[in-house]
Amino acid sequence: MPVNANNFPMEYLYEVLSLSPNATGIYTGEDVIILAANHAMLRIWSKKKDVIGKPMGEAIPELSGQPFLDILKNVYLSGVDYQAEDMPAQLVIDGVLQTRYFDFLYKAVKNTEGKTECILHTATDVTSRYLSMEKVDLLDNNLKLTNKELIAANDQLNAINEELIQAQRESELERQRLSDFVMQAPAGICVLRGEQLVYELVNPAYQKLLPTRELIGRPLFEALPELVGQPVEDILLNVYHTGISCALHELAVPIASLEGLEVEERYFTFNYLPLKDTVSETKGILVFAYEVTDQVIARKKVEESERHFRHLSDLVPAKISNAQANGEITFFNQQWLDFSGMDFEELRDFGYHSMMHPEEIPDFIAGLKKSAETGIPLEMEMRFRNIHGKYIWHLNIASPILDEQGNIKMWVGSTTDIQKLKEEEQRKGDFVSMLSHELKTPVTSIKGYVQLLLKLADKEELLSPGKLKSSLVRIDKLVVQLTNLIYDMLDLTRIEADQVKIKLEPLNLEELVAEVTEDLRFINPKHQINVDYGFKGVVNADKNKISQVLINFISNAIKYAPKSDVVDISVFKTEDGMAAVSVRDYGIGIDEKEHQKVFERFYRVEEQSSKVFSGFGIGLFLAQSIISRHHGKIFIDSQIGKGSVFTFTLPVR
């Protein structure tokens, strides 16, 4: 006669409780007295059997202040079940208070009158699943029973049998409790009887795995014909004939979700336990089954994504790395391995920091700390030693990846080789310095001869009054312009090397503007340069540098207004108390989209105008650098075809 939940042998029901890999406990009363707890539950608590019979708050004191005792009391009083997923619990494990995460069910087990007799507690440790999707391992540890535990389980069953003999009524109540556990347990449980493996007991969770299938009283391979010839057939028969239990983790099983439908590959974690009689002869198999198809598919997707990421990261030219929140490196791409000549473990354990140039390590550590505090990526030019022992310049970016609460969950590093850019900048600086030096020598000689001729011309005034001297004066002015151009090139090099020196001293702005405009009127006699002196104060400035800026503004006004011979200059005081000089022309004008670009190094306005007007495109770049070092600003107001107004401001002394 088939066995149901009510007449199922008592020893098997206790064996279900003791051997279940799912952590299980039974409690009663408002004080939550522990009636029973299997080995899995004791492992979670990190306790021994002496907690049985004690109130939970006394047996596991670290639960005080956590919500579990109040929830259990409420389940007992109300008779309403409570279920939760990914619930954190603070437990003392190996002497250390640790946070673990659980899926659990508090089930109110009631008598025939509807009154709660006890609470059935089943729990699954899902800490690994909660913390990382890389490893989906829900039940492996819970499904491993040692021989020592089996012996202990048999001892417990013998003790229960003795109690049953002494108190039949208590045994009937215990039978009902254990029956409720089997039928209400979230794990799929069934009993297969005899060599034909006939279904003798099936709980709802197991039936849910195979909906619409008639199981009770049918042999396993008749009810599930798609399993014939599959590895699970030999595994089950081996457990029956040898009496040795077997645990299978994430086994692929080709089986239809509904009888008659197409077979699909599903994944299960099984625990097969032989059921033996009093002479240790196997009578059947107790099966625990958990479907983990969704978890396996999710993990495989993560693994596939990781493979794609690693493949892509090996293809990009940059050196990519990944680290945990605590800084522990978890990944280097192939570019890093090739550059260092190390394998992953060598580079991770000691190679990465040893490759850094010693001069940059303090700034790198400080920058990394600041990035961790602010969440802003660290960008830093650094040198790393390659496989040949040579230090190579890189742009190193360390980006913290934050979770929804703003906490760092990982770091992503991108390190790009910029050695060629550095070398190119050095070559360019060397070239400009060399060119400036080579030009400066003959220009200095020319200026010397011009000054000598000017002295001689004073003696020749009676023969040709004014002509020789005026010509030589003009030559001298042109040489000055050429000299200024050379100094512009030198200034460009100094600015890029951050070596520009500013000599601040009291400077009468009115006198400076008058002096510069007078020189430019002499050089450009056809142009009318008008000056409006609305401010006649003194500023703290470097006379030569401010003259350089003013000459650049006026020269540009003359150059870029070929159809106009008027330049208007205004010296005034701004509303915020700054001294200002504006230079207005009536020339080609500049499109608004290029207003800020004109201050970039080597930038020329429009390709067409760059063919018409000569120049290197460094004048305004130098002007802005000079004014900013004086704590001033440069403004532009210009429209195409309507001319331009360039203004610079300086603090009043």
Instruction: Please provide the DSSP assignment of 104-149 as one string.
Output: EEEEEEE-TTS-EEEEEEEEEE-HHHHH-SS---SSTGGG---HHH
Residues 339-366 have a mean pLDDT of 87
pLDDT(364) > 50: yes
Instruction: Indicate the range of 388-397, 401-410, 473-482 predicted with least confidence.
Output: 473-482
**Cβ partners under 8 Å of residue 423, min gap 6:** none
Percent of the chain scoring above 70 in pLDDT:
75
Q: Give CA–CA dist 270/282, Å, rounded.
A: 19
User: 440 falls in which pLDDT band (50, 70, 90)?
Assistant: low
What is the mean predicted confidence (pLDDT) over 221-232? 89
Indicate the range of 414-428, 470-484, 619-633 predicted with least confidence.
470-484
DSSP 171-203: HHHHHHHHHHHHHH-SSEEEEEETTTTEEEEE-
The pLDDT, as a whole number, for residue 147 is 45
Averaged pLDDT, 401-407: 86
- Residue 462: its pLDDT value, please? 47
What per-residue confidence (pLDDT) applies to 67?
Answer: 92
Count of residues in the chain: 653
Q: What is the mean pLDDT of residues 8-35?
A: 73
pLDDT of residue 505: 92
Beta bridge partners of 173: none
The pLDDT, as a whole number, for residue 492 is: 58
Contact assessment for residue 145 and residue 310, using Cβ atoms and an 8 Å cutoff: no
**285 and 239 Cβ atoms separated by less than 8 Å:** yes
| Average pLDDT of span 209-216 | 89
* Structural contact between residues 35 and 28, judged by C-beta atoms closer than 8 angstroms: yes
pLDDT value at position 71? 92
Look at 58-62, 420-424, 513-517, 628-632 and tell me which has the smallest mean pLDDT.
420-424
Q: Does residue 617 surpass a pLDDT of 70? A: no
Question: Given this model, what pLDDT does residue 572 score?
Answer: 95
Q: Per-residue confidence at 175, pLDDT binned at 50, 70, 90? A: low
pLDDT at 438 (0 to 100): 56
pLDDT digits (tens, 9 = 90+) for 565-613: 999 999 999 999 999 999 999 998 888 888 877 777 655 565 444 444 4
- 435: tokens are 């060119």
Mean pLDDT, the chain, integer: 80
pLDDT given for residue 485 in this prediction = 63
269: β partners:
290
Coil, helix or strand at residue 261: coil
User: What pLDDT does 144 receive?
Assistant: 41
Q: Is the dihedral of CA 329, 330, 336, 341 positive or negative?
A: positive
Q: What is the pLDDT of residues 284-298, one digit of tens each?
A: 999 999 888 888 888
- Strand order across the 408-417 sheet: 329-332, 319-324, 408-417, 391-402, 378-385
Q: Is 15 exposed, middle or buried (0-12, 13-18, 19+ CB in 10 A)?
A: buried
Identify residue 294 by its one-letter amino acid code. Answer: D
Report the range of poorest mean pLDDT among 66-70, 179-183, 452-456: 452-456
Q: Is the pLDDT of residue 176 over 80?
A: no
Q: How confident is the model at residue 521, as a pLDDT?
A: 87
Q: Is the pLDDT of residue 256 over 90?
A: no
Lowest mean pLDDT among 222-231, 301-310, 343-352, 354-363: 301-310
What's the N-to-C CA distance of the chain in angstroms? 110
| Spatial strand order in the sheet of 566-573 | 528-533, 566-573, 578-585, 644-651, 634-638
- pLDDT > 70? residue 1: no
Average the pLDDT over each of 332-346, 372-386, 456-470 and give the range with the smallest value.
456-470
Confidence at 127, pLDDT banded by 50, 70, 90: confident
Task: Using CA atoms of 551, 554, 559, 564 in order, give the dihedral in degrees to the nearest 10.
Answer: -160
Instruction: Please tell me the predicted confidence (pLDDT) of residue 611.
Output: 42
Confidence of residue 8 (pLDDT cuts 50, 70, 90): very low
Residue 192: phi, psi to the nearest 5?
-105, 125
Question: pLDDT digit string (tens) for 519-559?
Answer: 888 878 889 999 999 998 899 999 988 998 998 899 889 98
